[in-house]
Amino acid sequence: LKDKAGEHTKDLLKTMHYLDIVNNEIIPALNTVGVGFENKTLYLPQLLMSAEAAKSSFEKIKEFTAMSGNAPSDKGRFVIATVEGDIHDIGKNIVKLLLSNYGFNVIDLGKDVPAQTVVDAVIEHKAPLAGLSALMTTTVPAMEKTIKLLREKAPWCKVVVGGAVLTKEYAATIGADKYAKDAMAAVRYAEEVMKNLLEKQ
């Protein structure tokens, strides 16, 4: 399935824009699998297989955008992580891919990332933006802890959060600057933040 997905993506890239492939092919497929998993019509092996297939598709898109010079200049630094205790990274990887393709320099810390590691990366890279992902209700407290620590140690950093267990209202209660319901919402917010920073300079 992984190889098939990669090959199919390569074929689609001949006639489709890569963002259309992400938005109209990959994300709906992942959503279908996610709903199936929640409804117990699909199980963990299928979920993991679909994640690998999606990764393979994203790799082909990455190769394509690098070769065709579609990856634009550095718009700003964006630290991204799945919070401590959470091992899901498909959503984070979609956001990372889109941000990179929109010209952001994404510092990807991976999954199951402690709060202090996120803060250290933001300080080290002087990043104006951080993105946190949580897909399990049990890991939302870790997200809140990370946001609190960022407020203390890196108050300049805007925090955008996302994940299946979050809502706009809940994101506000844990101190996030922005709730992104999907990857494009994260990109739009990042562009807005950088535009405001440039205007202030």
Q: Which two tokens stand for residue 190?
A: 């990042």
Identify each DSSP E strand in 15-117 by its residue range: 77-82, 105-108
Domain ranges in the chain?
2-67, 77-200
The CATH code that applies to domain 77-200 is: 3.40.50.280
**How does DSSP assign 125-166, residue by residue?**
HT-SEEEEE--SGGGHHHHHHHHHHHHHH-TT-EEEEE-TT-
Task: Compute CA distances 183 → 23, 39, 40, 101, 111, whole Å.
Answer: 9, 24, 26, 12, 17
Q: What is the pLDDT of residues 146-195, one digit of tens each?
A: 999 999 999 999 999 999 889 999 999 999 999 998 888 899 999 999 99
Mean pLDDT over 59-82 rounds to: 81
How buried is residue 15: exposed, middle or buried, by Cβ count under 10 Å (0-12/13-18/19+)?
exposed
Reported as a single tens digit per residue, the pLDDT across 12-45 is 999 999 888 988 898 788 778 878 877 889 887 8
- With a pLDDT cut of 90, the percent of the chain lying above it is 55
Q: Are 79 and 129 in contact (CB under 8 A)?
A: yes
Report the chain's mean pLDDT, rounded to a whole number.
90
pTM: 0.72
